[in-house]
Protein backbone atom coordinates (compact mmCIF):
# COMPACT_ATOMS: atom_id res chain seq x y z
CA UNK A 1 0.00 0.00 0.00
CA UNK A 2 1.20 3.58 -0.52
CA UNK A 3 2.64 5.52 2.40
CA UNK A 4 0.44 7.85 4.46
CA UNK A 5 2.50 10.92 3.53
CA UNK A 6 1.63 11.89 -0.02
CA UNK A 7 4.57 14.27 -0.17
CA UNK A 8 7.13 11.57 0.51
CA UNK A 9 8.23 8.92 -1.97
CA UNK A 10 5.89 5.86 -1.77
CA UNK A 11 7.30 2.47 -0.89
CA UNK A 12 6.34 1.03 -4.26
CA UNK A 13 7.12 1.66 -7.91
CA UNK A 14 4.22 1.95 -10.35
CA UNK A 15 3.87 1.07 -14.02
CA UNK A 16 1.80 2.75 -16.67
CA UNK A 17 -0.53 0.66 -18.82
CA UNK A 18 2.15 0.46 -21.50
CA UNK A 19 4.65 -0.95 -19.02
CA UNK A 20 6.64 2.26 -18.56
CA UNK A 21 8.08 2.63 -15.03
CA UNK A 22 6.78 5.78 -13.37
CA UNK A 23 8.88 7.87 -11.02
CA UNK A 24 7.37 7.86 -7.47
CA UNK A 25 6.93 11.63 -7.46
CA UNK A 26 5.20 11.66 -10.83
CA UNK A 27 3.03 8.63 -10.23
CA UNK A 28 -0.67 9.56 -10.71
CA UNK A 29 -1.55 8.28 -7.23
CA UNK A 30 1.02 10.54 -5.55
CA UNK A 31 0.05 13.48 -7.78
CA UNK A 32 -3.62 13.04 -6.90
CA UNK A 33 -2.90 12.94 -3.20
CA UNK A 34 -0.96 16.19 -3.56
CA UNK A 35 -4.04 17.68 -5.27
CA UNK A 36 -2.18 18.32 -8.52
CA UNK A 37 -4.61 16.59 -10.86
CA UNK A 38 -8.02 15.06 -11.25
CA UNK A 39 -7.42 11.35 -11.50
CA UNK A 40 -8.94 8.52 -13.46
CA UNK A 41 -6.28 5.90 -14.08
CA UNK A 42 -5.24 2.27 -13.86
CA UNK A 43 -1.79 0.94 -13.00
CA UNK A 44 0.21 -2.02 -11.81
CA UNK A 45 2.13 -2.06 -8.55
CA UNK A 46 4.53 -4.50 -6.98
CA UNK A 47 3.65 -5.90 -3.54
CA UNK A 48 6.12 -6.77 -0.79
CA UNK A 49 6.22 -10.40 -1.89
CA UNK A 50 7.28 -9.37 -5.40
CA UNK A 51 3.97 -10.10 -7.14
CA UNK A 52 2.21 -7.58 -9.37
CA UNK A 53 -1.39 -6.38 -9.11
CA UNK A 54 -3.62 -4.04 -11.07
CA UNK A 55 -5.34 -1.15 -9.25
CA UNK A 56 -7.91 1.28 -10.61
CA UNK A 57 -8.29 4.78 -9.07
CA UNK A 58 -10.78 7.57 -9.73
CA UNK A 59 -10.59 10.84 -7.85
CA UNK A 60 -10.89 14.58 -7.66
CA UNK A 61 -8.77 17.05 -5.64
CA UNK A 62 -10.83 19.07 -3.18
CA UNK A 63 -10.59 21.17 -0.02
CA UNK A 64 -10.64 19.14 3.16
CA UNK A 65 -14.05 19.40 4.92
CA UNK A 66 -13.89 21.01 8.32
CA UNK A 67 -16.26 20.30 11.16
CA UNK A 68 -19.73 21.67 10.36
CA UNK A 69 -18.59 23.83 7.44
CA UNK A 70 -16.58 23.31 4.25
CA UNK A 71 -13.67 25.71 4.24
CA UNK A 72 -11.04 24.80 1.61
CA UNK A 73 -7.61 26.37 1.78
CA UNK A 74 -4.43 26.03 -0.20
CA UNK A 75 -2.60 24.57 2.81
CA UNK A 76 -5.21 21.92 3.58
CA UNK A 77 -5.82 19.70 0.52
CA UNK A 78 -7.58 16.40 0.20
CA UNK A 79 -8.63 14.19 -2.65
CA UNK A 80 -11.84 12.21 -3.12
CA UNK A 81 -10.68 8.74 -4.24
CA UNK A 82 -12.27 5.45 -5.29
CA UNK A 83 -9.56 2.76 -5.17
CA UNK A 84 -10.38 -0.70 -6.56
CA UNK A 85 -8.23 -3.77 -7.06
CA UNK A 86 -8.63 -5.63 -10.36
CA UNK A 87 -8.32 -9.38 -10.64
CA UNK A 88 -8.31 -9.37 -14.44
CA UNK A 89 -5.37 -8.10 -16.42
CA UNK A 90 -7.20 -5.32 -18.22
CA UNK A 91 -9.99 -2.87 -17.52
CA UNK A 92 -13.53 -3.33 -18.71
CA UNK A 93 -16.13 -0.75 -19.64
CA UNK A 94 -18.39 -2.07 -16.89
CA UNK A 95 -15.64 -1.68 -14.27
CA UNK A 96 -15.00 1.89 -15.32
CA UNK A 97 -18.72 2.69 -15.17
CA UNK A 98 -18.90 1.25 -11.65
CA UNK A 99 -15.91 3.34 -10.61
CA UNK A 100 -17.43 6.52 -12.00
CA UNK A 101 -20.77 5.74 -10.37
CA UNK A 102 -19.13 5.27 -6.98
CA UNK A 103 -17.23 8.52 -7.29
CA UNK A 104 -20.42 10.36 -8.25
CA UNK A 105 -22.26 8.84 -5.27
CA UNK A 106 -19.49 10.03 -2.96
CA UNK A 107 -19.68 13.54 -4.43
CA UNK A 108 -23.47 13.55 -4.06
CA UNK A 109 -23.13 12.51 -0.44
CA UNK A 110 -21.29 15.72 0.46
CA UNK A 111 -23.12 17.90 -2.10
CA UNK A 112 -20.09 18.64 -4.26
CA UNK A 113 -20.29 19.86 -7.84
CA UNK A 114 -17.47 19.17 -10.29
CA UNK A 115 -16.29 21.46 -13.05
CA UNK A 116 -13.51 21.91 -15.59
CA UNK A 117 -12.35 24.96 -17.54
CA UNK A 118 -9.86 25.40 -20.34
CA UNK A 119 -8.37 28.92 -20.00
CA UNK A 120 -7.03 28.77 -23.56
CA UNK A 121 -10.28 27.87 -25.35
CA UNK A 122 -12.74 29.08 -22.71
CA UNK A 123 -14.53 25.72 -22.73
CA UNK A 124 -16.50 25.03 -19.54
CA UNK A 125 -17.95 21.78 -18.24
CA UNK A 126 -20.37 22.02 -15.29
CA UNK A 127 -22.56 19.38 -13.73
CA UNK A 128 -26.27 19.90 -13.09
CA UNK A 129 -25.77 20.86 -9.42
CA UNK A 130 -23.38 23.67 -10.26
CA UNK A 131 -25.74 24.97 -12.95
CA UNK A 132 -28.54 25.01 -10.36
CA UNK A 133 -26.44 27.29 -8.12
CA UNK A 134 -26.28 29.71 -11.06
CA UNK A 135 -30.06 29.40 -11.47
CA UNK A 136 -29.70 27.47 -14.74
CA UNK A 137 -31.51 24.35 -15.98
CA UNK A 138 -29.49 21.09 -16.35
CA UNK A 139 -29.26 21.39 -20.15
CA UNK A 140 -28.19 25.07 -20.19
CA UNK A 141 -25.09 26.08 -22.14
CA UNK A 142 -22.36 27.70 -20.03
CA UNK A 143 -19.41 29.78 -21.09
CA UNK A 144 -17.31 32.43 -19.39
CA UNK A 145 -19.84 35.17 -20.13
CA UNK A 146 -22.63 33.16 -18.48
CA UNK A 147 -20.33 32.25 -15.59
CA UNK A 148 -19.31 35.84 -14.82
CA UNK A 149 -22.75 37.39 -15.45
CA UNK A 150 -24.17 35.75 -12.32
CA UNK A 151 -21.28 36.62 -10.02
CA UNK A 152 -22.36 39.28 -7.53
CA UNK A 153 -21.09 42.71 -8.69
CA UNK A 154 -19.39 43.33 -5.36
CA UNK A 155 -17.49 40.02 -5.63
CA UNK A 156 -16.60 40.12 -9.34
CA UNK A 157 -13.22 41.77 -8.84
CA UNK A 158 -12.20 39.12 -6.32
CA UNK A 159 -13.25 36.33 -8.69
CA UNK A 160 -11.30 37.82 -11.61
CA UNK A 161 -8.24 38.27 -9.39
CA UNK A 162 -8.44 34.67 -8.15
CA UNK A 163 -8.72 33.39 -11.74
CA UNK A 164 -5.69 35.41 -12.81
CA UNK A 165 -3.62 34.06 -9.94
CA UNK A 166 -4.59 30.43 -10.51
CA UNK A 167 -3.51 30.72 -14.18
CA UNK A 168 -0.19 32.36 -13.32
CA UNK A 169 2.66 29.83 -13.83
CA UNK A 170 4.64 31.61 -11.12
CA UNK A 171 1.93 30.92 -8.56
CA UNK A 172 0.60 27.78 -6.94
CA UNK A 173 -2.08 27.18 -9.54
CA UNK A 174 -4.87 27.08 -6.96
CA UNK A 175 -8.32 28.63 -7.33
CA UNK A 176 -9.93 28.90 -3.87
CA UNK A 177 -12.71 31.37 -3.16
CA UNK A 178 -16.06 32.00 -1.46
CA UNK A 179 -18.36 34.44 -3.26
CA UNK A 180 -21.98 35.28 -3.99
CA UNK A 181 -23.99 34.37 -7.06
CA UNK A 182 -27.29 35.88 -8.22
CA UNK A 183 -29.24 33.17 -10.02
CA UNK A 184 -29.72 33.96 -13.71
CA UNK A 185 -33.08 32.25 -13.95
CA UNK A 186 -34.49 32.80 -10.47
CA UNK A 187 -32.70 35.91 -9.11
CA UNK A 188 -31.90 34.11 -5.83
CA UNK A 189 -28.69 35.13 -4.08
CA UNK A 190 -26.54 32.16 -3.09
CA UNK A 191 -23.05 31.63 -1.70
CA UNK A 192 -20.64 29.21 -3.37
CA UNK A 193 -17.28 27.90 -2.17
CA UNK A 194 -15.00 26.61 -4.90
CA UNK A 195 -11.62 24.94 -5.01
CA UNK A 196 -9.75 24.16 -8.20
CA UNK A 197 -6.30 23.17 -9.38
CA UNK A 198 -4.64 24.30 -12.62
CA UNK A 199 -2.66 22.00 -14.92
CA UNK A 200 0.27 23.55 -16.82
CA UNK A 201 2.17 22.45 -19.91
CA UNK A 202 5.29 24.32 -20.95
CA UNK A 203 4.34 27.16 -18.60
CA UNK A 204 0.85 27.54 -20.07
CA UNK A 205 -2.40 26.75 -18.22
CA UNK A 206 -4.15 23.95 -20.08
CA UNK A 207 -7.01 23.22 -17.73
CA UNK A 208 -8.58 23.91 -14.36
CA UNK A 209 -10.49 21.14 -12.60
CA UNK A 210 -12.21 21.45 -9.27
CA UNK A 211 -15.26 21.20 -7.10
CA UNK A 212 -17.81 23.68 -5.76
CA UNK A 213 -20.25 23.63 -2.87
CA UNK A 214 -23.39 25.64 -2.13
CA UNK A 215 -22.69 27.24 1.29
CA UNK A 216 -25.70 29.56 1.38
CA UNK A 217 -27.14 28.04 4.55
CA UNK A 218 -23.82 28.22 6.37
CA UNK A 219 -23.38 31.87 5.36
CA UNK A 220 -26.90 32.70 6.53
CA UNK A 221 -26.11 31.08 9.87
CA UNK A 222 -22.90 33.12 10.09
CA UNK A 223 -24.80 36.31 9.28
CA UNK A 224 -27.48 35.56 11.88
CA UNK A 225 -24.79 34.81 14.46
CA UNK A 226 -22.97 38.02 13.62
CA UNK A 227 -26.20 40.00 13.99
CA UNK A 228 -26.88 38.39 17.38
CA UNK A 229 -23.36 39.17 18.52
CA UNK A 230 -23.70 42.76 17.30
CA UNK A 231 -27.01 43.20 19.16
CA UNK A 232 -25.41 41.79 22.31
CA UNK A 233 -22.41 44.10 21.89
CA UNK A 234 -24.63 47.18 21.56
CA UNK A 235 -26.71 46.11 24.55
CA UNK A 236 -23.61 45.45 26.65
CA UNK A 237 -22.06 48.78 25.74
CA UNK A 238 -25.12 50.79 26.75
CA UNK A 239 -26.32 48.72 29.73
CA UNK A 240 -25.79 50.16 33.19
CA UNK A 241 -25.39 46.57 34.43
CA UNK A 242 -22.09 44.72 34.24
CA UNK A 243 -22.24 41.76 31.83
CA UNK A 244 -19.44 39.26 32.33
CA UNK A 245 -18.16 35.84 31.25
CA UNK A 246 -15.63 33.59 32.98
CA UNK A 247 -13.76 30.36 32.23
CA UNK A 248 -14.22 28.02 35.19
CA UNK A 249 -11.20 25.88 34.27
CA UNK A 250 -8.64 28.68 33.91
CA UNK A 251 -10.58 30.98 36.29
CA UNK A 252 -10.07 33.83 33.81
CA UNK A 253 -12.64 36.58 33.25
CA UNK A 254 -13.02 36.43 29.47
CA UNK A 255 -15.43 39.36 29.06
CA UNK A 256 -16.42 42.43 31.08
CA UNK A 257 -18.76 45.10 29.71
CA UNK A 258 -17.81 48.76 29.90
CA UNK A 259 -20.20 49.37 32.85
CA UNK A 260 -17.46 47.86 35.06
CA UNK A 261 -15.77 51.28 35.05
CA UNK A 262 -18.85 52.91 36.61
CA UNK A 263 -19.83 50.19 39.09
CA UNK A 264 -16.43 48.85 40.19
CA UNK A 265 -14.55 52.05 39.38
CA UNK A 266 -11.80 50.20 37.46
CA UNK A 267 -10.89 49.39 33.87
CA UNK A 268 -11.77 45.85 32.67
CA UNK A 269 -8.10 44.86 32.53
CA UNK A 270 -7.83 45.37 36.30
CA UNK A 271 -10.13 42.38 36.85
CA UNK A 272 -8.57 39.57 34.87
CA UNK A 273 -9.64 36.56 36.91
CA UNK A 274 -12.29 35.20 39.25
CA UNK A 275 -9.79 35.59 42.08
CA UNK A 276 -9.20 39.28 41.35
CA UNK A 277 -13.00 39.75 41.32
CA UNK A 278 -13.30 37.94 44.67
CA UNK A 279 -10.63 40.24 46.11
CA UNK A 280 -12.94 43.24 45.55
CA UNK A 281 -15.81 41.65 47.53
CA UNK A 282 -16.38 42.64 51.14
CA UNK A 283 -14.62 40.10 53.42
CA UNK A 284 -17.94 39.23 55.13
CA UNK A 285 -19.48 38.27 51.74
CA UNK A 286 -16.50 36.58 50.12
CA UNK A 287 -17.24 33.04 51.30
CA UNK A 288 -20.79 33.11 49.94
CA UNK A 289 -19.47 34.38 46.57
CA UNK A 290 -16.95 31.53 46.48
CA UNK A 291 -19.67 28.99 47.21
CA UNK A 292 -21.81 30.52 44.46
CA UNK A 293 -19.05 29.91 41.89
CA UNK A 294 -18.99 26.23 42.96
CA UNK A 295 -22.79 26.01 42.69
CA UNK A 296 -22.77 27.43 39.17
CA UNK A 297 -20.07 24.92 38.22
CA UNK A 298 -22.52 22.21 39.30
CA UNK A 299 -25.22 23.61 36.99
CA UNK A 300 -27.22 25.93 39.27
CA UNK A 301 -28.48 29.41 38.44
CA UNK A 302 -27.88 31.62 41.48
CA UNK A 303 -28.91 35.17 42.39
CA UNK A 304 -26.58 36.66 45.00
CA UNK A 305 -26.38 40.03 46.70
CA UNK A 306 -22.96 41.02 47.98
CA UNK A 307 -20.96 44.11 48.80
CA UNK A 308 -17.81 45.28 47.09
CA UNK A 309 -15.07 47.64 48.22
CA UNK A 310 -14.30 49.63 45.09
CA UNK A 311 -10.54 49.35 44.43
CA UNK A 312 -10.41 52.92 43.13
CA UNK A 313 -11.80 54.72 46.19
CA UNK A 314 -12.77 52.12 48.82
CA UNK A 315 -16.48 53.02 48.61
CA UNK A 316 -18.87 50.22 49.52
CA UNK A 317 -21.39 49.29 46.81
CA UNK A 318 -24.12 46.66 47.04
CA UNK A 319 -24.31 44.35 44.01
CA UNK A 320 -27.09 42.02 42.88
CA UNK A 321 -25.51 39.41 40.59
CA UNK A 322 -27.27 36.70 38.57
CA UNK A 323 -24.89 33.78 37.87
CA UNK A 324 -25.66 31.14 35.23
CA UNK A 325 -23.76 28.13 33.83
CA UNK A 326 -22.79 27.87 30.16
CA UNK A 327 -22.61 24.33 28.79
CA UNK A 328 -20.30 23.29 25.97
CA UNK A 329 -21.45 21.09 23.09
CA UNK A 330 -20.35 18.01 25.06
CA UNK A 331 -22.63 19.02 27.95
CA UNK A 332 -19.82 19.99 30.31
CA UNK A 333 -19.87 23.31 32.17
CA UNK A 334 -16.62 25.08 31.38
CA UNK A 335 -17.86 28.68 31.47
CA UNK A 336 -20.26 30.82 33.46
CA UNK A 337 -21.78 34.21 32.87
CA UNK A 338 -23.57 36.84 34.85
CA UNK A 339 -25.33 40.18 35.04
CA UNK A 340 -24.26 42.36 37.96
CA UNK A 341 -26.54 45.23 38.98
CA UNK A 342 -25.63 48.02 41.39
CA UNK A 343 -28.51 48.12 43.90
CA UNK A 344 -26.87 50.48 46.38
CA UNK A 345 -29.55 52.70 47.92
CA UNK A 346 -32.39 50.85 46.22
CA UNK A 347 -35.61 52.23 47.74
CA UNK A 348 -37.65 49.07 47.31
CA UNK A 349 -40.60 50.68 45.52
CA UNK A 350 -41.79 47.28 44.27
CA UNK A 351 -44.96 45.52 45.34
CA UNK A 352 -45.51 41.76 44.98
CA UNK A 353 -49.19 40.86 45.08
CA UNK A 354 -50.18 37.29 45.95
CA UNK A 355 -53.88 36.99 45.29
CA UNK A 356 -55.77 34.14 43.59
CA UNK A 357 -58.95 36.19 43.16
CA UNK A 358 -58.99 38.15 39.88
CA UNK A 359 -61.30 40.91 41.13
CA UNK A 360 -59.25 41.40 44.29
CA UNK A 361 -56.01 41.54 42.26
CA UNK A 362 -57.46 44.16 39.94
CA UNK A 363 -58.55 46.31 42.89
CA UNK A 364 -54.99 46.27 44.27
CA UNK A 365 -53.49 47.11 40.87
CA UNK A 366 -55.93 50.00 40.41
CA UNK A 367 -54.77 51.47 43.73
CA UNK A 368 -51.03 50.76 43.66
CA UNK A 369 -49.96 51.50 40.09
CA UNK A 370 -51.29 55.09 39.99
CA UNK A 371 -49.47 55.61 43.30
CA UNK A 372 -46.17 55.03 41.48
CA UNK A 373 -45.45 51.46 42.54
CA UNK A 374 -44.16 48.77 40.20
CA UNK A 375 -46.42 45.78 40.80
CA UNK A 376 -45.74 42.09 40.06
CA UNK A 377 -48.61 39.62 40.48
CA UNK A 378 -48.37 35.98 41.61
CA UNK A 379 -51.27 33.57 41.33
CA UNK A 380 -50.35 31.80 44.56
CA UNK A 381 -47.88 31.83 47.43
CA UNK A 382 -45.93 28.85 46.07
CA UNK A 383 -45.12 30.71 42.86
CA UNK A 384 -43.70 33.59 44.90
CA UNK A 385 -41.69 31.28 47.17
CA UNK A 386 -40.03 29.55 44.20
CA UNK A 387 -38.33 32.74 42.97
CA UNK A 388 -38.23 34.81 46.16
CA UNK A 389 -34.43 34.63 46.27
CA UNK A 390 -34.14 36.40 42.91
CA UNK A 391 -36.64 39.21 43.62
CA UNK A 392 -35.60 42.80 44.25
CA UNK A 393 -36.44 44.28 47.65
CA UNK A 394 -40.09 45.24 48.00
CA UNK A 395 -43.31 44.71 49.94
CA UNK A 396 -45.36 41.52 49.57
CA UNK A 397 -49.15 41.84 49.85
CA UNK A 398 -50.57 38.42 50.69
CA UNK A 399 -54.35 37.88 50.42
CA UNK A 400 -54.82 35.13 52.99
CA UNK A 401 -58.53 34.85 52.26
CA UNK A 402 -57.88 33.60 48.72
CA UNK A 403 -54.63 31.74 49.40
CA UNK A 404 -55.66 30.06 52.66
CA UNK A 405 -54.06 30.05 56.14
CA UNK A 406 -51.34 27.65 54.98
CA UNK A 407 -49.89 30.46 52.88
CA UNK A 408 -48.59 32.01 56.11
CA UNK A 409 -45.76 29.48 55.93
CA UNK A 410 -44.41 31.53 53.01
CA UNK A 411 -44.33 34.65 55.19
CA UNK A 412 -42.49 32.66 57.84
CA UNK A 413 -39.99 31.36 55.26
CA UNK A 414 -39.32 34.85 53.88
CA UNK A 415 -38.58 36.17 57.35
CA UNK A 416 -36.33 33.22 58.17
CA UNK A 417 -34.40 33.74 54.94
CA UNK A 418 -33.81 37.38 55.91
CA UNK A 419 -34.91 38.51 52.46
CA UNK A 420 -35.82 42.18 52.02
CA UNK A 421 -39.47 41.22 51.42
CA UNK A 422 -41.69 42.34 54.32
CA UNK A 423 -45.16 40.75 54.13
CA UNK A 424 -48.43 42.68 54.56
CA UNK A 425 -51.33 40.26 55.09
CA UNK A 426 -54.90 41.14 54.11
CA UNK A 427 -57.98 38.95 54.67
CA UNK A 428 -61.28 38.38 56.46
CA UNK A 429 -61.12 37.09 60.00
CA UNK A 430 -64.86 36.17 60.15
CA UNK A 431 -64.79 36.91 63.85
CA UNK A 432 -61.53 35.06 64.48
CA UNK A 433 -59.66 37.73 66.45
CA UNK A 434 -56.55 35.57 66.55
CA UNK A 435 -56.02 35.60 62.76
CA UNK A 436 -54.10 38.86 62.77
CA UNK A 437 -51.99 37.68 65.71
CA UNK A 438 -51.11 34.46 63.90
CA UNK A 439 -50.19 36.44 60.80
CA UNK A 440 -47.84 38.68 62.79
CA UNK A 441 -46.27 35.67 64.54
CA UNK A 442 -45.68 34.08 61.14
CA UNK A 443 -43.58 37.07 60.14
CA UNK A 444 -46.04 39.58 58.68
CA UNK A 445 -45.26 43.22 59.39
CA UNK A 446 -48.97 44.15 59.45
CA UNK A 447 -52.49 42.78 59.01
CA UNK A 448 -55.45 44.57 57.37
CA UNK A 449 -59.04 43.38 57.51
CA UNK A 450 -60.96 43.22 54.20
CA UNK A 451 -62.51 45.23 52.78
CA UNK A 452 -59.44 47.37 53.27
CA UNK A 453 -59.50 51.16 53.05
CA UNK A 454 -57.24 52.62 50.30
CA UNK A 455 -55.59 55.12 52.66
CA UNK A 456 -54.91 52.42 55.26
CA UNK A 457 -53.39 50.07 52.68
CA UNK A 458 -51.14 52.74 51.19
CA UNK A 459 -50.01 53.75 54.69
CA UNK A 460 -49.17 50.14 55.57
CA UNK A 461 -47.22 49.66 52.32
CA UNK A 462 -45.36 52.94 52.85
CA UNK A 463 -44.41 51.92 56.39
CA UNK A 464 -43.10 48.53 55.23
CA UNK A 465 -40.99 50.13 52.50
CA UNK A 466 -39.75 52.81 54.90
CA UNK A 467 -38.51 50.05 57.19
CA UNK A 468 -36.69 48.55 54.21
CA UNK A 469 -35.02 51.87 53.49
CA UNK A 470 -34.09 52.21 57.15
CA UNK A 471 -32.52 48.75 57.14
CA UNK A 472 -30.64 49.60 53.95
CA UNK A 473 -29.38 52.85 55.41
CA UNK A 474 -28.31 51.07 58.59
CA UNK A 475 -26.46 48.49 56.56
CA UNK A 476 -24.70 51.16 54.51
CA UNK A 477 -23.82 53.11 57.67
CA UNK A 478 -22.43 49.93 59.23
CA UNK A 479 -20.39 49.17 56.12
CA UNK A 480 -19.05 52.72 56.01
CA UNK A 481 -18.14 52.61 59.70
CA UNK A 482 -16.28 49.30 59.29
CA UNK A 483 -14.43 50.69 56.29
CA UNK A 484 -13.35 53.87 58.09
CA UNK A 485 -12.29 52.08 61.25
CA UNK A 486 -10.42 49.54 59.15
CA UNK A 487 -8.30 52.42 57.85
CA UNK A 488 -6.99 53.17 61.39
CA UNK A 489 -3.54 52.04 62.43
CA UNK A 490 -3.20 49.54 65.27
CA UNK A 491 -2.17 52.31 67.71
CA UNK A 492 -5.08 54.57 66.63
CA UNK A 493 -7.46 51.64 67.14
CA UNK A 494 -6.15 51.24 70.70
CA UNK A 495 -6.69 54.95 71.36
CA UNK A 496 -10.26 54.68 70.03
CA UNK A 497 -11.00 51.70 72.27
CA UNK A 498 -9.66 53.71 75.21
CA UNK A 499 -11.94 56.64 74.34
CA UNK A 500 -14.95 54.26 74.19
CA UNK A 501 -14.07 53.11 77.72
CA UNK A 502 -14.25 56.72 78.93
CA UNK A 503 -10.50 57.21 79.26
CA UNK A 504 -8.72 60.54 79.17
CA UNK A 505 -5.57 61.40 77.27
CA UNK A 506 -3.59 60.86 80.46
CA UNK A 507 -5.16 57.50 81.44
CA UNK A 508 -5.00 56.16 77.87
CA UNK A 509 -1.35 57.27 77.62
CA UNK A 510 -0.55 55.55 80.92
CA UNK A 511 -2.15 52.29 79.73
CA UNK A 512 -0.41 52.37 76.35
CA UNK A 513 2.92 53.77 77.50
CA UNK A 514 2.44 57.02 75.59
CA UNK A 515 2.60 60.67 76.55
CA UNK A 516 -0.70 62.58 76.79
CA UNK A 517 0.46 64.74 73.90
CA UNK A 518 1.00 61.68 71.66
CA UNK A 519 -2.44 60.37 72.59
CA UNK A 520 -3.93 63.73 71.67
CA UNK A 521 -2.27 63.56 68.22
CA UNK A 522 -3.59 60.02 67.67
CA UNK A 523 -7.03 61.11 68.86
CA UNK A 524 -7.16 63.98 66.33
CA UNK A 525 -6.21 61.63 63.53
CA UNK A 526 -8.89 59.13 64.64
CA UNK A 527 -11.56 61.84 64.47
CA UNK A 528 -10.36 62.93 61.02
CA UNK A 529 -10.32 59.38 59.64
CA UNK A 530 -13.81 58.64 60.99
CA UNK A 531 -15.12 61.90 59.56
CA UNK A 532 -16.61 63.06 62.89
CA UNK A 533 -16.17 66.20 64.98
CA UNK A 534 -17.28 65.13 68.44
CA UNK A 535 -16.55 62.19 70.70
CA UNK A 536 -20.25 61.03 70.79
CA UNK A 537 -20.22 60.80 66.98
CA UNK A 538 -17.06 58.71 67.15
CA UNK A 539 -18.64 56.44 69.78
CA UNK A 540 -21.74 55.95 67.60
CA UNK A 541 -19.67 55.04 64.52
CA UNK A 542 -17.54 52.61 66.55
CA UNK A 543 -20.68 50.97 67.90
CA UNK A 544 -22.01 50.50 64.36
CA UNK A 545 -18.78 48.77 63.42
CA UNK A 546 -18.85 46.55 66.49
CA UNK A 547 -15.76 48.03 68.16
CA UNK A 548 -15.62 47.17 71.86
CA UNK A 549 -14.09 49.46 74.55
CA UNK A 550 -10.85 48.33 76.17
CA UNK A 551 -11.08 46.98 79.73
CA UNK A 552 -7.46 47.78 80.62
CA UNK A 553 -8.15 51.33 81.81
418-471 pLDDT, tens digit per residue, is 777 888 988 888 777 788 888 888 888 888 888 888 888 888 888 888 777 666
Instruction: Give the pLDDT mean for 348-372.
Output: 85
Greater confidence, 497 or 153?
153
139 and 101 together in one domain: no
- 163, exposed or middle or buried, with CB in 10 Å at 0-12, 13-18, 19+? buried
Query: Which pLDDT score is estimated for 325?
Result: 93
Closest CA relative to residue 393, chosen from 358, 341, 440: 341
358 and 458 together in one domain: yes
Instruction: Give the pLDDT mean for 217-238.
Output: 80
Q: What total of structural domains would you count in the chain?
A: 5
* Residue 451, preceding peptide bond in cis (omega within 30° of 0): yes
pLDDT digits (tens, 9 = 90+) for 29-63: 555 555 444 455 666 667 777 777 777 665 555 54
Query: Which pLDDT score is estimated for 471?
Result: 61
Instruction: Give the pLDDT mean for 146-150.
Output: 92
Cα–Cα separations (whole angstroms), residue 523 to 175, 354, 545: 83, 54, 18
pLDDT digits (tens, 9 = 90+) for 525-544: 888 888 888 888 887 878 77
82 and 45 together in one domain: yes
Return the CATH number at 145. Answer: 3.30.450.20
Which structural domain range is residue 47 located in? 14-108
213 and 127 together in one domain: yes
357 and 288 together in one domain: no
Enter the pTM of the model: 0.41
In which band, very low, low, confident or very high, does the pLDDT at 474 lie, cut at 50, 70 and 90?
A: low
363 and 459 together in one domain: yes
Query: Which pLDDT score is estimated for 28?
Result: 53
Instruction: Give the pLDDT mean for 222-250.
Output: 83
Asked whether residue 227 is domain-assigned, the answer is: no
Euclidean distance between CA atoms 536 and 212, whole angstroms: 85
Query: Which pLDDT score is estimated for 170?
Result: 85
Query: Which pLDDT score is estimated for 475?
Result: 65
Instruction: Give the pLDDT mean for 122-146.
Output: 90
Closest CA relative to residue 142, chosen from 120, 160, 125: 125
In which band, very low, low, confident or very high, does the pLDDT at 389 lie, cut at 50, 70 and 90?
A: confident
- Kindly report which listed range (68-72, 217-221, 285-289) carries the lowest average pLDDT score: 68-72
Closest CA relative to residue 427, chosen from 404, 406, 410, 444: 404
- Kindly report which listed range (93-102, 203-212, 406-415, 472-481) carries the lowest average pLDDT score: 93-102
Task: Categorise residue 453: left if φ over 0, alpha if ψ from -120 to 50, beta otherwise.
Answer: beta
Query: Which pLDDT score is estimated for 8?
Result: 41
Average pLDDT over the chain, rounded to whole?
Answer: 79
354 and 460 together in one domain: yes
354 and 461 together in one domain: yes
336 and 270 together in one domain: yes
Amino acid sequence: APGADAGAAPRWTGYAADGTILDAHDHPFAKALRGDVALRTRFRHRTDDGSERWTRISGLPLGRPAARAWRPSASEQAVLLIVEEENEAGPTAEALRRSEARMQAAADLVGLSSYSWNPATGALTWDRRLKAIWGLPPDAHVDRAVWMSAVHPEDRARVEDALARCCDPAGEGVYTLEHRVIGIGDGVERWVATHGRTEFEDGRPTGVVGVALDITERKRDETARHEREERFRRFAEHSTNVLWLANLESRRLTYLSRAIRHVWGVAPERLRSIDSWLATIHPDDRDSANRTVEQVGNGDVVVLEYRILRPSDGIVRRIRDTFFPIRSEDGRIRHMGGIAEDVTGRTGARIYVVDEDAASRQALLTLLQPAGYEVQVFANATALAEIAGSLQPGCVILDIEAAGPESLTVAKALKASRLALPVLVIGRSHGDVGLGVRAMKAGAVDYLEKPWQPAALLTAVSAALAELRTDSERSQARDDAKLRIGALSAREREVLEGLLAGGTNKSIGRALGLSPRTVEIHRAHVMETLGVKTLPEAVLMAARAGVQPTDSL
